[in-house]
Structure 1
Amino acid sequence: MNVLFLCTGNSCRSILAEATFNHLAPEGWQAMSAGSKPTGQVHPRSLALLEREGIPTEGFFSKSWDNLPVTPDIVITVCGNAAGETCPAYLGPALRAHWGVDDPAKAAGTEEEINAAFTQAYRTLREGIETLLALPLDDLRQDPSALKAKLDYISILKFKQPHTK
Protein backbone atom coordinates (compact mmCIF):
# COMPACT_ATOMS: atom_id res chain seq x y z
CA MET A 1 0.00 0.00 0.00
CA ASN A 2 1.29 3.42 -0.96
CA VAL A 3 0.47 6.31 1.35
CA LEU A 4 0.87 9.91 0.20
CA PHE A 5 1.26 12.61 2.85
CA LEU A 6 0.20 15.80 1.13
CA CYS A 7 0.41 19.47 2.00
CA THR A 8 1.02 22.67 0.14
CA GLY A 9 4.78 23.25 0.49
CA ASN A 10 6.15 19.74 1.14
CA SER A 11 8.85 21.15 3.42
CA CYS A 12 7.84 20.25 6.98
CA ARG A 13 4.77 18.24 8.00
CA SER A 14 4.47 15.96 5.00
CA ILE A 15 8.22 15.26 5.10
CA LEU A 16 8.04 14.49 8.84
CA ALA A 17 5.12 12.13 8.20
CA GLU A 18 6.76 10.38 5.24
CA ALA A 19 10.02 9.77 7.10
CA THR A 20 8.29 8.63 10.28
CA PHE A 21 5.86 6.34 8.48
CA ASN A 22 8.62 4.65 6.49
CA HIS A 23 10.72 4.28 9.65
CA LEU A 24 7.87 2.49 11.46
CA ALA A 25 5.89 0.75 8.70
CA PRO A 26 5.82 -2.98 8.09
CA GLU A 27 6.87 -4.51 4.80
CA GLY A 28 4.42 -3.79 2.03
CA TRP A 29 3.53 -0.30 3.28
CA GLN A 30 5.38 2.69 1.88
CA ALA A 31 4.91 6.42 2.28
CA MET A 32 5.80 9.31 0.04
CA SER A 33 5.13 13.02 0.36
CA ALA A 34 4.41 15.87 -1.99
CA GLY A 35 3.02 19.36 -2.20
CA SER A 36 0.62 21.16 -4.49
CA LYS A 37 3.02 24.14 -4.50
CA PRO A 38 6.34 22.77 -3.22
CA THR A 39 8.77 25.23 -1.67
CA GLY A 40 11.73 23.56 -3.32
CA GLN A 41 13.53 22.77 -0.08
CA VAL A 42 13.02 20.74 3.08
CA HIS A 43 13.03 22.88 6.20
CA PRO A 44 16.33 22.33 8.04
CA ARG A 45 14.53 22.05 11.40
CA SER A 46 12.51 19.11 10.04
CA LEU A 47 15.68 17.28 9.07
CA ALA A 48 17.37 18.10 12.38
CA LEU A 49 14.35 16.83 14.34
CA LEU A 50 14.24 13.57 12.37
CA GLU A 51 17.96 13.04 12.97
CA ARG A 52 17.47 13.59 16.73
CA GLU A 53 14.74 10.94 16.61
CA GLY A 54 17.04 8.46 14.88
CA ILE A 55 15.10 8.55 11.62
CA PRO A 56 17.14 8.58 8.39
CA THR A 57 16.91 11.83 6.39
CA GLU A 58 18.89 11.04 3.27
CA GLY A 59 17.18 11.68 -0.03
CA PHE A 60 14.35 13.94 1.13
CA PHE A 61 13.46 16.86 -1.08
CA SER A 62 10.45 19.10 -1.62
CA LYS A 63 8.51 17.74 -4.59
CA SER A 64 5.32 18.27 -6.53
CA TRP A 65 2.37 15.93 -6.57
CA ASP A 66 2.69 16.05 -10.36
CA ASN A 67 5.78 13.82 -10.14
CA LEU A 68 4.71 10.92 -7.92
CA PRO A 69 6.59 7.66 -8.54
CA VAL A 70 3.42 5.57 -8.01
CA THR A 71 -0.30 6.18 -7.64
CA PRO A 72 -1.17 6.38 -3.94
CA ASP A 73 -3.72 4.05 -2.36
CA ILE A 74 -4.21 6.46 0.55
CA VAL A 75 -3.82 10.24 0.61
CA ILE A 76 -3.51 11.97 3.99
CA THR A 77 -3.51 15.76 3.92
CA VAL A 78 -1.67 17.35 6.84
CA CYS A 79 -2.39 21.07 6.45
CA GLY A 80 -3.64 22.78 9.59
CA ASN A 81 -7.11 24.25 9.25
CA ALA A 82 -6.59 26.27 12.40
CA ALA A 83 -3.81 28.14 10.62
CA GLY A 84 -6.22 29.20 7.89
CA GLU A 85 -4.53 27.08 5.25
CA THR A 86 -6.32 25.65 2.28
CA CYS A 87 -5.30 22.03 1.93
CA PRO A 88 -4.91 20.68 -1.59
CA ALA A 89 -7.37 18.07 -2.79
CA TYR A 90 -5.71 15.14 -4.53
CA LEU A 91 -7.62 14.16 -7.64
CA GLY A 92 -7.28 10.43 -7.85
CA PRO A 93 -8.94 7.17 -6.81
CA ALA A 94 -7.21 7.02 -3.41
CA LEU A 95 -8.82 6.77 0.01
CA ARG A 96 -8.57 10.17 1.68
CA ALA A 97 -8.14 11.43 5.21
CA HIS A 98 -7.22 14.77 6.75
CA TRP A 99 -4.80 14.96 9.67
CA GLY A 100 -4.58 18.70 10.26
CA VAL A 101 -1.39 19.91 11.91
CA ASP A 102 -0.34 23.54 12.23
CA ASP A 103 2.64 24.46 10.08
CA PRO A 104 5.74 24.68 12.28
CA ALA A 105 7.52 26.66 9.54
CA LYS A 106 5.20 29.55 10.38
CA ALA A 107 6.04 29.42 14.11
CA ALA A 108 7.41 32.61 15.63
CA GLY A 109 9.16 33.37 18.87
CA THR A 110 12.31 32.20 20.53
CA GLU A 111 14.42 29.33 19.20
CA GLU A 112 12.95 27.19 21.95
CA GLU A 113 9.37 28.09 20.96
CA ILE A 114 10.01 27.43 17.28
CA ASN A 115 11.67 24.09 18.03
CA ALA A 116 8.70 23.24 20.27
CA ALA A 117 6.33 23.85 17.33
CA PHE A 118 8.31 21.40 15.19
CA THR A 119 8.38 18.84 18.00
CA GLN A 120 4.62 19.19 18.53
CA ALA A 121 3.90 18.68 14.83
CA TYR A 122 6.17 15.62 14.76
CA ARG A 123 4.63 14.07 17.89
CA THR A 124 1.09 14.63 16.65
CA LEU A 125 1.84 13.05 13.28
CA ARG A 126 3.73 10.18 14.89
CA GLU A 127 0.76 9.40 17.17
CA GLY A 128 -1.54 9.20 14.15
CA ILE A 129 0.92 7.02 12.26
CA GLU A 130 1.42 4.70 15.23
CA THR A 131 -2.35 4.41 15.63
CA LEU A 132 -2.71 3.49 11.96
CA LEU A 133 0.14 0.99 12.02
CA ALA A 134 -1.27 -0.70 15.14
CA LEU A 135 -4.37 -1.73 13.17
CA PRO A 136 -4.73 -5.14 11.47
CA LEU A 137 -3.23 -3.81 8.25
CA ASP A 138 -3.34 -7.08 6.29
CA ASP A 139 -7.08 -7.35 6.90
CA LEU A 140 -7.72 -3.67 6.16
CA ARG A 141 -5.79 -3.85 2.91
CA GLN A 142 -8.49 -6.26 1.68
CA ASP A 143 -11.39 -4.07 2.86
CA PRO A 144 -11.13 -0.46 1.62
CA SER A 145 -14.36 0.65 3.32
CA ALA A 146 -13.11 -0.60 6.71
CA LEU A 147 -9.75 1.07 6.10
CA LYS A 148 -11.50 4.35 5.24
CA ALA A 149 -13.54 4.10 8.45
CA LYS A 150 -10.35 3.63 10.47
CA LEU A 151 -8.65 6.58 8.74
CA ASP A 152 -11.68 8.73 9.58
CA TYR A 153 -11.61 7.51 13.18
CA ILE A 154 -7.94 8.49 13.50
CA SER A 155 -8.77 11.92 12.00
CA ILE A 156 -11.32 12.52 14.72
CA LEU A 157 -9.45 10.84 17.58
CA LYS A 158 -5.96 12.25 17.06
CA PHE A 159 -6.51 15.34 14.92
CA LYS A 160 -9.98 16.48 15.98
CA GLN A 161 -10.95 16.62 12.31
CA PRO A 162 -14.23 15.59 10.75
CA HIS A 163 -14.01 12.77 8.23
CA THR A 164 -13.51 13.45 4.55
CA LYS A 165 -15.51 12.07 1.66
Structure 2
Amino acid sequence: MKYKVAFVCVHNSCRSQMAEGWAKKLGGEIFEVYSAGTENYPEVKPLAVAVMEEAGVDMSEHHPKLLSDIPETLDLLITMGCNVVCPFVPNQHFEDWGLDDPSGGPIEDFRVTRDLIKEKVLQLISRVQSGDIELK
Protein backbone atom coordinates (compact mmCIF):
# COMPACT_ATOMS: atom_id res chain seq x y z
CA MET A 1 0.00 0.00 0.00
CA LYS A 2 1.25 3.46 -0.87
CA TYR A 3 0.41 6.50 1.23
CA LYS A 4 -0.81 9.65 -0.53
CA VAL A 5 1.40 12.59 0.42
CA ALA A 6 1.04 16.16 -0.85
CA PHE A 7 3.45 19.04 -0.44
CA VAL A 8 1.68 22.41 -0.55
CA CYS A 9 2.97 25.95 -1.01
CA VAL A 10 1.52 29.19 -2.36
CA HIS A 11 2.66 28.93 -6.00
CA ASN A 12 3.84 25.31 -6.26
CA SER A 13 6.87 26.66 -8.09
CA CYS A 14 9.84 25.89 -5.85
CA ARG A 15 9.86 24.22 -2.41
CA SER A 16 6.81 22.01 -2.86
CA GLN A 17 8.11 20.96 -6.29
CA MET A 18 11.50 20.05 -4.80
CA ALA A 19 9.75 18.04 -2.09
CA GLU A 20 7.70 16.23 -4.73
CA GLY A 21 10.87 15.42 -6.66
CA TRP A 22 12.72 14.10 -3.60
CA ALA A 23 9.74 12.11 -2.32
CA LYS A 24 9.29 10.41 -5.69
CA LYS A 25 13.00 9.60 -5.92
CA LEU A 26 13.56 8.53 -2.32
CA GLY A 27 10.15 7.31 -1.18
CA GLY A 28 8.41 6.17 -4.32
CA GLU A 29 8.01 2.68 -2.94
CA ILE A 30 5.85 3.90 -0.03
CA PHE A 31 4.42 7.20 -1.27
CA GLU A 32 2.05 8.29 -3.99
CA VAL A 33 3.41 11.83 -4.30
CA TYR A 34 1.71 15.12 -5.19
CA SER A 35 2.43 18.81 -4.87
CA ALA A 36 0.14 21.79 -5.27
CA GLY A 37 -0.28 25.49 -4.65
CA THR A 38 -3.03 27.76 -3.49
CA GLU A 39 -2.50 30.27 -6.32
CA ASN A 40 -1.77 29.96 -10.05
CA TYR A 41 1.81 30.43 -11.21
CA PRO A 42 3.19 30.14 -14.76
CA GLU A 43 6.21 27.85 -14.24
CA VAL A 44 8.45 26.01 -11.83
CA LYS A 45 11.34 28.30 -10.90
CA PRO A 46 14.26 27.57 -13.27
CA LEU A 47 16.80 27.67 -10.42
CA ALA A 48 14.76 25.05 -8.53
CA VAL A 49 14.85 22.80 -11.60
CA ALA A 50 18.61 23.44 -12.03
CA VAL A 51 19.63 22.61 -8.46
CA MET A 52 17.52 19.47 -8.41
CA GLU A 53 19.14 18.40 -11.67
CA GLU A 54 22.54 18.89 -9.97
CA ALA A 55 21.38 16.38 -7.35
CA GLY A 56 20.14 13.87 -9.92
CA VAL A 57 16.42 14.67 -9.74
CA ASP A 58 14.76 15.53 -13.06
CA MET A 59 12.01 18.13 -12.67
CA SER A 60 12.06 19.28 -16.30
CA GLU A 61 8.50 18.02 -16.85
CA HIS A 62 7.10 19.47 -13.60
CA HIS A 63 4.53 22.26 -13.76
CA PRO A 64 2.64 24.18 -11.07
CA LYS A 65 -0.61 22.58 -9.95
CA LEU A 66 -3.48 23.75 -7.77
CA LEU A 67 -5.08 21.96 -4.82
CA SER A 68 -7.96 21.06 -7.12
CA ASP A 69 -5.49 19.02 -9.22
CA ILE A 70 -4.60 16.57 -6.44
CA PRO A 71 -6.68 13.91 -4.62
CA GLU A 72 -9.45 15.14 -2.34
CA THR A 73 -8.19 13.05 0.58
CA LEU A 74 -4.60 12.47 1.62
CA ASP A 75 -2.70 10.42 4.13
CA LEU A 76 -0.08 13.14 4.73
CA LEU A 77 -0.34 16.87 4.08
CA ILE A 78 2.90 18.85 4.34
CA THR A 79 2.98 22.63 4.00
CA MET A 80 6.32 24.22 3.26
CA GLY A 81 6.32 27.14 5.67
CA CYS A 82 4.79 29.87 3.60
CA ASN A 83 2.01 30.62 6.10
CA VAL A 84 -0.39 28.98 3.68
CA VAL A 85 -3.95 28.83 4.88
CA CYS A 86 -5.21 25.92 2.84
CA PRO A 87 -8.78 24.97 2.26
CA PHE A 88 -9.43 21.86 4.31
CA VAL A 89 -7.96 18.77 2.69
CA PRO A 90 -8.88 15.65 4.66
CA ASN A 91 -5.71 13.95 5.90
CA GLN A 92 -4.43 11.63 8.61
CA HIS A 93 -1.27 13.60 9.38
CA PHE A 94 -0.39 17.28 8.91
CA GLU A 95 2.83 19.16 9.47
CA ASP A 96 4.42 22.43 8.41
CA TRP A 97 8.11 22.36 7.54
CA GLY A 98 8.73 26.09 8.06
CA LEU A 99 11.16 26.55 5.16
CA ASP A 100 12.19 29.95 3.83
CA ASP A 101 11.46 30.57 0.16
CA PRO A 102 14.72 30.98 -1.81
CA SER A 103 12.92 32.66 -4.74
CA GLY A 104 14.64 35.86 -5.79
CA GLY A 105 17.88 34.84 -4.10
CA PRO A 106 21.11 33.41 -5.46
CA ILE A 107 21.44 29.79 -6.60
CA GLU A 108 23.20 28.92 -3.33
CA ASP A 109 19.96 29.68 -1.45
CA PHE A 110 18.17 27.17 -3.69
CA ARG A 111 20.87 24.58 -2.95
CA VAL A 112 20.48 25.07 0.79
CA THR A 113 16.70 24.68 0.49
CA ARG A 114 17.10 21.61 -1.74
CA ASP A 115 19.33 19.92 0.84
CA LEU A 116 17.04 20.80 3.76
CA ILE A 117 14.06 19.38 1.89
CA LYS A 118 15.97 16.18 1.12
CA GLU A 119 16.71 15.71 4.82
CA LYS A 120 13.10 16.37 5.77
CA VAL A 121 11.84 13.90 3.15
CA LEU A 122 14.27 11.25 4.42
CA GLN A 123 13.06 11.88 7.99
CA LEU A 124 9.43 11.66 6.85
CA ILE A 125 10.09 8.32 5.13
CA SER A 126 11.82 7.00 8.25
CA ARG A 127 9.01 8.15 10.54
CA VAL A 128 6.34 6.53 8.35
CA GLN A 129 8.29 3.27 8.03
CA SER A 130 9.01 3.08 11.77
CA GLY A 131 5.40 3.78 12.74
CA ASP A 132 6.21 7.12 14.41
CA ILE A 133 3.53 8.54 12.15
CA GLU A 134 0.49 6.30 12.43
CA LEU A 135 -1.38 5.89 9.18
CA LYS A 136 -4.28 3.55 8.54
The one-letter amino acid paired with 2:37 is G
Structure 2 residue aligned with 1:88 = 85
Aligned position for 1:16: 18
User: Could you say which residue in structure 2 is the equivalent of 1:115?
Assistant: 107
Q: Which has the higher strand share?
A: 2
The structure that has the greater radius of gyration is 1
Name the amino acid aligned to 1:92: V
The two structures, once aligned, show a CA RMSD in angstroms of: 2.1
- CA distance in structure 1 between the aligned counterparts of 2:98 and 2:104, rounded to whole angstroms: 15
After superposition, residues 46-125 of structure 1 pair within 5 angstroms as 46-69=48-71, 71-80=73-82, 86-94=83-91, 95-107=93-105, 114-125=106-117
Q: TM-score, normalised to structure 2's length?
A: 0.86
The alignment covers a number of residue pairs equal to 133
Of all paired residues, the percent bearing the same amino acid is: 26
The AA in structure 1 aligned to 2:90 is P
User: Which residue in 1 is equivalent to 2:122?
Assistant: 130
Q: Distance in 1 between matches of 2:97 and 2:118?
A: 11
SS in 2 for 1:106: coil
TM-score normalised to structure 1 length: 0.72
- 1:27, CA displacement in angstroms? 1.5
Shift of 1:72: 1.9
Residues 113-133 of structure 1: CA deviation (Å, up to 9, x unaligned):
x11110111111111111122
**Residue-by-residue CA offset, 1:45-90 (whole Å, 9 max, x unaligned):** 111111111112243101111111463211100034xxxxx31324
Do the aligned partners of 1:40 and 1:63 also contact (CA within 8 Å) in 2? Answer: no
State how far apart, in whole Å, the 2-side matches of 1:90 and 1:54 are. 33
Task: Give the structure, 1 or 2, with the largest relative contact order (CA under 8 Å, sep 6 or more).
Answer: 2
Of 128-137 and 94-103, deviating more is 128-137
